[in-house]
Amino acid sequence: MTTAQPENGPLAGEPRMLIDGELQLTESGAMFGVEHPATEQQAGDATDATVADMERAIGAARRAFDRTEWSRDAGFRFHCLSQLHEALDRNKERLRRVLITEVGCPVSVTGSQIESPIDEVKHWAEHGRDFEHLVDTGVHDTQLGPARRKLHYEPVGVVGAITPWNVPFYLNIAETVPALMAGNTVVLKPAQLTPWSGSELGRIVAEETDIPAGVFNVVTANANEVGAALSADPRVDMITFTGSTATGRAILAAGAPTIKKTLLELGGKSAHIVLDDADFSASLPLAAMMACVMSGQSCILPSRILLPRKRYDEGLAILQASMENFPVGDPWVAGNMQGPQISETQRKKVLGLIQSGIASGARVVTGGGIPETLPVGYYVQPTLLADVDPDSQVAQEEIFGPVLTVTPYDTDDEAVAIANNTIYGLSGEVSSADVDRAFAVAERMRTGNVTINGKSHFGVNSPFGGTRQSGLGYRNGAQGYTEYLHIKTIGMPA
């Protein structure tokens, strides 16, 4: 069990992984360090699993699915996940400190990363409890006479969940709890940079719930081949993954020999079309905030701002003022809204993309470098780039940093064309005083989700998924739950 800890500051998480109901280290005892991005110091260690460890976890999940009643007893699953909800709520302050330590997410904005996913555990438990797993579609005429048909919703089997580092606890919940409630068994592979958000979940499952051994497993590792082994193993029936499009392609290729079901939430390069009748004073400060909060490390961030040319300078001035006054600093200090990038590698990527934008003709309105007042920690200034070529690298590649690019346009048609000029299609936004006009523009955007006038599309009750190279399938909503189920159609005498 956990011991008493100070109430604030960096906190190392659970160093062990969970395999077949046992919290354990890898056989060799190998560990890898976890860095706190606000101090650039190692905060602790996590076990460095091997491919053999992953294979053991997959074997445990396979046995638990094939040989236990987990897949067939929805009442027991509801009981276990209700226990998990209560246990996570008891542990939420510890989870919050571990999250801030791993990610550098400011304490002021952790609600969406701690409280929201804990609430979602309760939501999915209740959704699965009430879900109709057998649906009678009535009597159908056939060439062989009338037949009654029933649809049986069945769990897919063993689900491998591979999660990213930007919102790790939230996505560990989002990618595993619906799968568990649907009757699947799960192997979770958390990101190398944020192993504790996964291992803490494993510890709580092992110590504070009745979830049987093998039903839920967590494997932490610093080597990419461990996650690759999960994607390729024929005993795994489905992979759910959130992360880069490049890794998504690799996962699809790894699962191809066994035609593995795959749910992918991949990269984005979302555009915010600000129409010429919009209330700039309402929409643009919010756009600046969304670019900076979580240090811009969000897949749905509308990082491309499209401004009407006749109001271009007005819009730039509002964005500049908002970004220059945004509170950046120590994530443990209440009131700060932007912390560091998660690593020096990520900061170098962000700064490199800013420089590529400058090289392609963009103008730095504000920011563009490292804050002088924050010499320690992987901080990047809130950055506004104007006059951005929509075909340039900085306008085409996901930045994952506190950077907005701004491009002018003359007509609604041109704005839509610029917004759609990308391989991605995850999210988007439209601002206008005329909601019908905004809706008409939103309908033409080739993206899975659109926000109009700041009214978010995102929530546990609404399907969320990307088009084009932003992903396959859906999270959230009824559609998100059924992603973890197969539909068996049964024909029987009328």
| Predicted local distance difference test score (pLDDT) of residue 328 | 97
> pLDDT under 50 in the chain at which residues?
1-5
Chain centre to alpha carbon of residue 151 = 31
| Predicted local distance difference test score (pLDDT) of residue 1 | 41
CB distance 427 to 455 below 8 Å: no
| Predicted local distance difference test score (pLDDT) of residue 65 | 98
Strands 134-140 and 147-155: antiparallel
DSSP sequence for 116-173: HHHHHHHHHHHHHHH--SEEEEEEE--TTS-EEEEEEEEE-SEEEEE--SSSHHHHHH
Q: What is the mean pLDDT of the chain?
A: 96
Q: What secondary structure letter does DSSP report for 71?
A: G
Distances in whole angstroms, Cα of residue 234 to Cα of each of 71, 163, 219, 229: 19, 20, 18, 10
Q: In 259-372, where do the E strands start and end?
A: 261-265, 271-274, 304-308, 363-366
The total number of residues written for the chain in this structure: 494
CB distance 280 to 274 below 8 Å: yes
Q: Name the active-site residue from 14, 102, 175, 265.
A: 265
Of the candidates 240, 234, 367, the residue with the CA atom closest to the CA atom of residue 295: 367
| Predicted local distance difference test score (pLDDT) of residue 3 | 42
Q: What is the pTM of this model?
A: 0.95
- Is 93 assigned a catalytic role? no
| Predicted local distance difference test score (pLDDT) of residue 8 | 81
Dig out the tokens for 4 from the structure: 């008493």
**% of residues, the chain, pLDDT over 70:** 99
Angle at 45 between CA 95 and CA 254, to 5 degrees: 85
Angle at 408 between CA 406 and CA 412, to 5 degrees: 120
Place of tokens 């958000």: 197
Residue 339 DSSP SS3? coil
| Predicted local distance difference test score (pLDDT) of residue 261 | 96
Residue 233 DSSP SS3? coil
Q: Domains (ranges, CATH) in the chain?
A: 17-266+471-493 (3.40.605.10), 271-452 (3.40.309.10)
| Predicted local distance difference test score (pLDDT) of residue 406 | 98
Q: What secondary structure letter does DSSP report for 275?
A: -
